[in-house]
Amino acid sequence: MFDIGWFLQRVDWWSILDILLVTLTFYWFLHLIRGTQAIQLLRGTVILALAMILAASLLPFRAFSWLVDKTLPALLVAIPVIFQPELRRALERLGRTGAYLTSTREPSVAEVIDQVCTACTRMSERKHGALVVLERTTGIEEYIETGVPIDSKVTTELLLTIFFPNTALHDGAVVIRNGRVVAAACVLPLASGTISDRQMGLRHRASIGVTEETDAIAVVVSEETGTISVAHNGRMIRRLDGKRLRKTLEALFPPPRRSSLSGLVQDVRDRVGSALGNQEP
């Protein structure tokens, strides 16, 4: 049986500080690579390593145990090579200490969808080309860094101004993260060279390309025809109007489910706000 007293007798302040330093190291590493595709890669690597270690420890397979013993050291050496771009970005983020001290209130998903749909509908009527990417769970920080940082609230007027013809930022994609326009004029990967993709323009191929590598949603407005399209999971839904675009985005971005406690608190707030609003001065 584990003796807690024996353990506590051997724990001093240096041991506590040592544990805190190790914890902070892991925390900062995960925090710095947040928003990139490295999260999924790291998760897969950890799951694979744990599965191999457990299988080698529990199963009486000598050859497999030998393979695990020889493979894990090589895997540890390969990790810095695999995560080289993410580690470089992490060190760059570490120098931007001010970015972690600011926080903004995120607008609701419905508000963002409303602004994007209104802007795309107007650009479709005017035949102004546009490409708007909405980030979801998979981070696309590597593509955001190719554009011009903005960090602004999503508004119809902002999107119309960015994609107005011959402006400085109209080429490339606008990326929306957590309800804010984080960057414009971003460079996205093109779709794989299938026959159908080659018949598309660069905006449409870029929208398919980013959705092939991530779970992001891309909204495209054709500059030639004014047609609105939505790319998701490497596929494209074409010939959408304002209403169909709104329904498609609402289906792809369902509102978050609230717990019973948070829902009760929100209902009380709504009722109190409504009662206060109905009071006459």
Residue spans of the domains in the chain: they are 4-100, 109-252
pLDDT tens over the chain, length 281 residues: 456 666 666 777 787 888 888 888 877 777 666 656 566 666 777 777 788 778 777 877 788 788 877 777 777 677 667 666 656 655 555 554 444 434 444 468 899 999 999 999 999 999 999 999 999 887 788 899 899 999 999 999 999 999 999 899 999 999 999 889 999 999 999 887 654 555 678 899 999 999 988 889 999 999 999 999 999 988 999 989 989 999 999 998 875 554 444 454 555 555 545 544 444 44
Give the fold, CATH level 3, of 109-252. YojJ-like (1 (3.40.1700)
Asked whether 253 and 262 are in contact (CB, 8 A), the reply is no
Question: Strand pairing of 148-153 and 180-186?
Answer: antiparallel
Nearest to residue 132, comparing CAs of 230, 218, 232, 234? 218
CA gap 121, 127 in Å, rounded: 10
Q: What is the pTM of this model?
A: 0.61
H/E run at residue 166: none
